[in-house]
Structure 1
Amino acid sequence: MPIQSYVALLRAVNVGGTGKLPMTELKAMAGELGLANVRTYIASGNLVFDSQLPEAEIKAALEARLARHAGKPLGVIIRSADEIRDVLAANPFPEAPGNRSVAIFLDAAPPADALEHARHAGGERMRLGRREIYVHYPQGQGQSKLIIPAAKTGTARNMNTVAKLVEMADAEGAPSARSR
């Protein structure tokens, strides 16, 4: 398999005082696993890197290494540079401020009825993506009472962060599948 750029999104890292993991340690762990050109973005578990390994192997290796470090399982969502670019391009709320719209990244496609099971909506707009659930929080995520059961095992990143991860994946590292 050729080298390509990937993004890893860790779940529940440095949020609300739980899951503390300095990004320097995360970067070192990724290097120990043979991931190349490793970069991090803000202290919420965003990792950009290059690898020849397939997504499933990267995910398994990172989750195992993080579990050894933390003493408990930590979820990791992997996307190729092309996929993260597609997530940004598919944002169904491009007119909304980037800090008020998120993509909730999932390992698999959300169930077709996922949004029907959402509770406590108060003006939020939601749309299903390929392996994401998009949400626009007009009053901000911190003010929302919205619960989406299908998103429980996912991890959210606002569109500003997604855009920065696309920029990082495009700026350095391996060519994407589209550029070959």
Structure 2
Amino acid sequence: MIEQFKQWLLEVQDAALEEKKEKAEKQGDASQWKKQIWKSPEKNRAIKAKFRDEGAQLGYRSRPSYKTGAREWLYDFVWRKFDDENHLQEVVLAMEIEMSDRNMRSLMLDFTKLFQSDASYKVFVFQFKTEDEVGAAMEHFIQSAQRYKTKIPAQMLLCGWSTSLNRFLFSDFKMGSPALTVE
């Protein structure tokens, strides 16, 4: 499923880049598309919408949901699974999306919230300017996850947007196994 998440995020990325190019063309200079800003609220909406729609196809209910008007529930985005009698069975995905904050201390507060979820999949989306900054943040997040004594196995995806590269960078690993493995 993590590979599918990466694919969906790349689809969101590609749509955003196409929109940036169209805006630059409308302004009369298609070569300046990289200067178009993909604003954080737009990133958040696009990611949530993609995961909401894909999750619905898999039978999950999302929070928030722009279809039902449901707001955030514990995390920035979740997939929940219900039984036939409408009882919550599990939280399948917990996601934190922190695209406007580049302060590591603040990012860590939201990243470590994911540790407390019993979701099978945990996704953390963030941004920094350079590839090196994204990579350093990922290393920091992985070190933090290695120190957490989780009792429930989960797969974690780190997704860092590099504003200078105009693309997502990924790192994924398993939590709750005898030794945390980075893939």
Structure with bigger gyration radius: 2
| TM-score after normalising by structure 1 | 0.31
| TM-score after normalising by structure 2 | 0.30
